[in-house]
Copies of this chain bind each other. A is one copy, B any other.
Amino acid sequence: MRDAFHDDLDSISSMLVEMSSRVGRAMGLATTALLEANLQLAEQVISEDSLIDALQHDLDAKALSLLARQQPVAGDLRTIVTSLRMSADIERMGDLAHHIAKVARMRYPSTAVPAELTLTVQEMGNVAQAIIAKVITVIKTRDIAAALQVDKDDDEMDKLHRKLFTTLLEDSWPHGIETAIDMTLIGRYYERCADHAVSVARRVYFMVTGEFAPAKD
């Protein structure tokens, strides 16, 4: 009986990995769609978001069913409840990729991102994918030192976010208000994605140790 239970816990962990992998892929595609004004990729990200939502739904149903049937305590209880929270964070990261893809679609056939910001946005997309890849490793390995390292990538994202604002606020900004609004929202979406990734990693820390991860420096 305990073995079946631990198989179920493993399958929840696999579902978190599967959700995260899909979100990482969505973030990559959304970034390309945005920078290359690729409508087809944008539509793909938009339509595939429902697959991520469906995974969250399945995961949550499984977790609730395990709580009801197995009445776990201590570490097992913590693992299941924390998984529910991680799935909510990851689902939200998927929404943010979806939001980015929608900006790409809205501005098609133009590109939403002006040349001055192409590199910054590309880097934000790269950091988002890198941070998601690390989160996947943290979920798989339950490595709490690696979990705390994810903060560093978030710092990198914050730096890029500030750089984006600096560019928008240069006196020479020639692209007007609409593009500034788009870029403000796009920047926010990437930054929130990284915040949720940090949250997922810190939840793994809590799951493993039963303690909250130490405050960021």
Q: Which residues of A contact B (CB under 8 A)?
A: 64, 67-68, 71, 73-74, 77-78, 81, 84-85, 88, 165, 168-169, 173, 177-178, 180-181, 184-185, 188
- 7 nearest A-B residue pairs (beta carbon): A71-B71, A184-B184, A181-B184, A177-B180, A68-B73, A180-B180, A68-B77
> Which residues on B sit within 8 Å (CB–CB) of A88?
85, 88
> Which residues on B sit within 8 Å (CB–CB) of A74?
68
Most chain B beta-carbon contacts within 10 A, residue among A78, A85, A184: A184
Closest B residue to A181 by CB, please name it: B184
A28 CA / B185 CA spacing, docked (Å): 24
State the majority secondary structure of interface residues on A.
Answer: helix
> Which residues on B sit within 8 Å (CB–CB) of A78?
64
A181 CA / B64 CA spacing, docked (Å): 42
In the assembled complex, how far is the CB of residue A45 from the closest CB belonging to chain B, in whole angstroms?
Answer: 20
In the assembled complex, how far is the CB of residue A150 from the closest CB belonging to chain B, in whole angstroms?
Answer: 19
A19 CA / B77 CA spacing, docked (Å): 25
Closest B residue to A178 by CB, please name it: B169
In the assembled complex, how far is the CB of residue A191 from the closest CB belonging to chain B, in whole angstroms?
Answer: 11
A93 CA / B67 CA spacing, docked (Å): 28
> Which residues on B sit within 8 Å (CB–CB) of A84?
81, 84-85
> Which residues on B sit within 8 Å (CB–CB) of A180?
177, 180-181, 184
> Which residues on B sit within 8 Å (CB–CB) of A185?
184, 188
Closest B residue to A84 by CB, please name it: B81
Query: Is B81 touching A67 in the complex (CB atoms < 8 A)?
Result: yes
